[in-house]
Structure 1
Amino acid sequence: MRRTGSALAVILLLIRPAMAFVIEEEEYFPATGGSSQSISLLSTTDTDVLRPAILAFQEANPDVAVRYVVASSQEVYAALADDGQAFDLVISSAMDLQMKLANDGFAASWASAATARLPDWAKWQDRVFAFAQESVVLIASRRGFRGLPIPQTRRDLTELLRDHPDVFRGRIGTYDPRASGAGYLFATQEARQSDSFWRLAEVAGGLSPRLYISSIDMISDLKAGRLALAYNVLGSYAGPRLESDADGVVVEFADFTLTLLRTGMVPTNAENPDGGGAFLDFLLSTRGQALIRDRAGLPPIDEAALAARPHLRPIRLDAGLLVYLDRLKRQAFLAEWSSAMSQD
């Protein structure tokens, strides 16, 4: 029976439709109590970040095996919208792409006591749910600044770059919104909030900025001395990696700091939607929220924290996120951004 079962598993793997999207990581967490079911999770969140939550979920559900697949936000979108891949829960930092998937009919309805407790701004039509709220920050190297003051607002940063081009030329990092879904979200949402985004983009664009597709790469290059600063970095990644680094500084801008909502949705073609929803509910539970805060470094959903820090400006889960996903608006935005970034 074991050999027959193994052979069947191999056959199923062979006949499963090939994945056209690019996978960055994939890990299988076997059931600890004899598997009777499994769930398949597709995520933009690194495996190590959610590993404690996955293992704790399996402690409570020992008969559930978990397959965890990591891809970029654009690849996650393509996996569902273009390839029709089946996953039981999709987790992404690109709120706008999650909203588009839901708006286009790829998200199933999921209602539970856990989702009912979420504030209205952290969910959309019982289809997209936030489980973490993360600041989008500036990170800086004290050595790289050569004694110059660390800016606390976008105006401070713009003036600093304009007045000291020799210090920052080739040593500024930021997302490439053409290649990164999260980077495009941050750029468009910041442009909606203030004209200061374009003034800063024009000044930084004249200083040969380095473009990235991940926060971790920017943080690594700052720690290695290749960057003096990186702009629009996920604070949940920067904080733990720089807290013991005497050189690194994390800045939440006082004028406003965008706050990303990391979200989950159960796809309409999920093979085990109840399993995917159960994992989402675990992330939203008291234990799950404590785990992602204390072990994963992801700030949980907390209205009181936002009220106490009025400079934090959450990106709301609403139809406004779809505006810049319009093809013509996206082309126009990226053309203007490319023009600002190509002055050198």
Structure 2
Amino acid sequence: MMVWASMATALEIEEEAILPGQPGGETLAILSTTDTAYFRPVLEAFQRANPELTIRYVVAGSQDVYAAVTERKMAFDVAISSAMDLQMKLANDGLALPHEPGAALPLPDWAQWQDRVFSIAQEPVVLVLSRPALDGLRLPQTRRDLVDLLRDHPDRFQGRVGTYDPRQSGAGYLFATQEARQSDSFWRLAEVMGAVDPLLYSSSVDMLDDLESGRLTIAHNVLGSYAADRVGDDSDLVAVEYQDFTLTLLRTALIPDNAPNPEAAGVFIDFLLSAEGRRLIGAEAGLPPVNEAALMQNPHLRPIRLDPGLLVYLDKMKRRAFLEEWSAAMFQP
């Protein structure tokens, strides 16, 4: 307990859940960026199959998950994150243990890396809008449409557009750099957003809360699984998958090199990649499991591949230059 108490002072914990196992059994410690409410059904199903294990599930931001494994060397058995680039860096720097999945379903090459980083879900990164706030305006379907909407109606959207702050959020930085790599429209959109004084966030949940409260009318780059919980026939919110291209995030899991219980971690990853695990991730957690066929049927969905290309913008000089250019666009005099 003293280890966890000291950890709490060093790590900004958003949530912590304990699922007690059989007395005297081992503990599986998981550090994750995925909210407990989404992942609890998966954890409970895994524990039913492994009742001897106590599961400790800690939720933190993506930058904290990365720092917990690198700088703080905290004792977690599994790290799950939406910041694919940071997960790749952990593995590339030798901070993730190799694990060869047993009878688990195979992953496409773009969804795993060297038996160290494993994709457990794929989900679109979407635009979410307030229907009443549009008030007859055409629903944007592409980034160019959104540029036109904000440019043509700046007074209506002044101070009411939200997006990730890439300086604070690992996932936000990943989305921004991937958009910039794939389309010149990213910088035009950043400039137009900057002209309407956007609000900046570290999580999709906070953006969605402010959309529902009326503080925001538009949120750009929201995790699709979180948006799906708020959008429906009775909701004032609508989610849009960009038709020019919709970034598709891979949530990934790895075993840190200092994991106290790497054997249990491997069993857990095998469960996540199994047919039953994938079913639970989709049906109970609301996180679309890795499905290559779904991507082929929807060509606007563009998966962010797990490969060393993710490391490009983690170079300190490139990161500084990117954030300086982003800041110039977003914070206009």
TM-score (norm 2): 0.97
Question: Match for 1:225 among 210, 214, 223?
Answer: 214
CA distance in 2, matches of 1:198, 1:262: 26
CA distance in 2, matches of 1:327, 1:191: 17
1:35 and 1:64 in contact (8 A); partners too: no
Q: What is the CA RMSD across the aligned residues, in angstroms?
A: 1.5
2:144 and 2:185 in contact (8 A); partners too: yes
Amino acid at match of 2:65: V
Question: Match for 2:28 among 2, 15, 39?
Answer: 39
Q: Is 1:272 paired with 2:279?
A: no
**Where does residue 288 of structure 2 map in the other structure?**
299
1:115 and 1:129 in contact (8 A); partners too: no
Classify the secondary structure of the residue corresponding to 1:246: coil
1:12–1:186 Cα change, 3 Å = closer
Structure 1, 288-297 or 240-249: larger mean CA deviation:
240-249
**Where does residue 4 of structure 1 map in the other structure?**
none
1:160–1:18 Cα change, 3 Å = closer
CA distance in 2, matches of 1:151, 1:305: 23
Question: Match for 1:331 among 306, 320, 325?
Answer: 320
1:13–1:100 Cα change, 3 Å = closer
Question: Match for 1:64 among 38, 49, 53?
Answer: 53
Classify the secondary structure of the residue corresponding to 2:40: helix
Amino acid at match of 2:14: E
1:34 and 1:62 in contact (8 A); partners too: no
2:105 and 2:274 in contact (8 A); partners too: no
Unaligned runs of 5+ in 1: 1-9
Q: CA deviation at 1:86?
A: 1.4
2:105 and 2:275 in contact (8 A); partners too: no
Q: Which is greater in Rg?
A: 1
Q: CA deviation at 1:243?
A: 2.1
**Where does residue 155 of structure 1 map in the other structure?**
144
Q: Deviations over 1:269-295 (max 9, x none)?
A: 111001111111111111111111111
Unaligned runs of 5+ in 2: none
Q: CA deviation at 1:188?
A: 0.2
Q: Is 1:193 paired with 2:182?
A: yes
CA distance in 1, matches of 2:316, 2:9: 25
Amino acid at match of 2:40: R
1:17–1:297 Cα change, 3 Å = closer
Matches within 5 A, 1:133-144: 133-144=122-133
Q: Is 1:73 paired with 2:62?
A: yes
**Where does residue 30 of structure 1 map in the other structure?**
20
**Where does residue 127 of structure 1 map in the other structure?**
116
Percent of residue pairs bearing the same amino acid type: 62
2:230 and 2:237 in contact (8 A); partners too: no
Question: Match for 1:181 among 170, 175, 179?
Answer: 170
Amino acid at match of 1:296: A
1:35 and 1:65 in contact (8 A); partners too: no
CA distance in 2, matches of 1:289, 1:119: 14
1:170 and 1:210 in contact (8 A); partners too: yes
CA distance in 2, matches of 1:42, 1:140: 31
Q: CA deviation at 1:51?
A: 0.3
**Where does residue 75 of structure 2 map in the other structure?**
86
1:18–1:209 Cα change, 3 Å = closer
CA distance in 1, matches of 2:287, 2:326: 30
Question: Match for 2:196 among 207, 219, 224?
Answer: 207
1:164–1:22 Cα change, 3 Å = same
CA distance in 2, matches of 1:175, 1:13: 30
Q: CA deviation at 1:246?
A: 3.0
1:115–1:186 Cα change, 3 Å = farther
1:231–1:162 Cα change, 3 Å = same
Amino acid at match of 2:13: I
Structure 1, 101-110 or 279-288: larger mean CA deviation:
279-288
Structure 1, 115-124 or 165-174: larger mean CA deviation:
115-124
Amino acid at match of 1:168: F
Q: CA deviation at 1:34?
A: 3.8
CA distance in 1, matches of 2:17, 2:7: 19
CA distance in 2, matches of 1:330, 1:13: 33
